[in-house]
Amino acid sequence: MAKPIPVSPLARPLPDLSTVAGVRLSAVAAGVRYQGRTDLMLAEFVPGTIVAGVYTKNACPGAPILWCRQAQTTPYARALLVNAGNANVFTGRAGIQACEDCADAVSKLLDCPPQDVFLSSTGVIGEKLPQDRIIAALPAAQAGLLEDNWAQAARAIMTTDTFPKAARRDVTIGGKPVRLQGIAKGSGMVAPDMATMLAYVATDAKLPQNVLQSLLASGCAQSFNSITVDSDTSTSDTLMLFATGLADNPAVDDVNDPALAEFTLALNDLLLELALLVVRDGEGATKQIRVEVTGADSNLSAHRIALSIANSPLVKTAIAGEDANWGRVVMAVGKSGEPADRDLLSVAIGGTWIARDGGVVENYDEAPVVAHMKGQDIEITVDMGLDDGQARVWTCDLTHGYIDINGSYRS
């Protein structure tokens, strides 16, 4: 049996969570893999709830990803079922059958079409999902549905996570109050296209699917697609947004409607908060790292350069060791394959410019940089000096804890 994983030193407590009108949740122990803890989350949505989703681009996706993509061809959702401990990935026809069986069982309990049931699984790859255990636990899950079970739901979907993750925002649309609340899990196998990482957000706002999908895709680009723990893209990454429509906001049919401005900012902010909680729980992490690239050939180029820095084992281990080795940042810029000119490059750590225009700053004092490296939140800034492309990504350091966790993951 694997050793208990210590709570990340970067952990954050759960915020003050509330309820979202039209959403009830439960968390039960199905014994999928773990013993002595909840591992199955069921969310029930009021009839008429609209759904949007963004899923992994990994070419070997899990059966639940295929199920959700197909289910989302209609706009409605009545339930979300998530299990931890088994990813239902690389399980062939048995995996598809497991999804069909679980969706059918939930649909009978809630009297809805199976395609209105959305599914996620997270955990070990390549092992058949014991759907009989999940289905046997569904009556208890239905009986336990409550509006205020968000914290319990966040804990039930954890795998190697060391703390539950949630966020909440209260805003208005057209002067009418609406709420956004979400949970996430993830700590390893996290890299863009999507951030294993699952995130679910619900709102009582009344919005059509095309608007909801556009908002989610845009928000994902700035959050879950701008974080990386280890450069490995999960087979199960899922980000979903459910809108129950029970708020009294005016009708909105255009994503650019000014009435949506506050809601859009709040959604983007909530998604970024959840994404950064995933980074803060990066396996073995002791430091959160923000990498900002400016002056690049384009925004896309800046994003790729930032990821090259954020994914560099040499950069990440230097930061773990609190070594202000900025030469590794230069190396990572150069290996990105993006346009770069050594003689225009500038590098800063913690707001202190170390190199300007291809050379070390005259009379550079390393003391403030060394002090910055001892903190938990590290900032790296690179200016390429080429054009106005810019990007920002977040990652964490790479410690021996990452090896300890992943070397015994199946134990």
Catalytic positions are: 196
Listed residue (262, 269, 171, 289) closest to 223, CA to CA: 269
SS3 track for 204-225: CCCCCHHHHHHHHHHHHHCCHH
Residue where the block lists tokens 């709830």:
49
Buried b (16+ CB within 10 A) or exposed e, 347-377: bbbbebebbbeeeeeeeeeeeebeebbeeee
User: Is there a binding annotation on residue 406?
Assistant: yes
196 is annotated as contributing to ligand binding: yes
- For residue 12, the Cα-to-chain-centroid distance in whole angstroms is 15
Closest by Cα among 343, 322, 336 to 293: 336
Q: Which residues contact 306 (CB under 8 A, 6 or more apart)?
A: 291, 292, 293, 382, 391, 392, 393
- Residues 118 and 202: their CA atoms lie apart, in Å, by 14
Residue 363 is labelled as binding a ligand: no
Q: Is 411 annotated as a binding residue?
A: yes
- Structure token pair of residue 173: 């649309």
With beta carbons less than 8 A apart as the criterion, state whether 57 and 220 touch: no
**Distance (Å, whole) CA 177 – CA 376:** 36
Residue 74 among known ligand-binding residues: no
Q: Which structure tokens are listed for 82?
A: 């998530």
22, burial (CB in 10 Å: exposed 0-12, middle 13-18, buried 19+): buried
Tell me how far apart the alpha carbons of residues 281 and 279 are, in angstroms, rounded to a whole number: 5
Q: Looking at residue 369, what DSSP letter applies?
A: H
> What is the Cα–Cα distance from 352 to 364, expressed in whole angstroms?
9
Residue 56, annotated as binding a ligand: no
Q: Specify whether the CB–CB gap between 162 and 155 falls below 8 A.
A: no
Query: Annotated binding residues for substrate, as ranges?
Result: 159, 185, 196, 283, 406, 411
Query: Annotated binding residues, as ranges?
Result: 159, 185, 196, 283, 406, 411
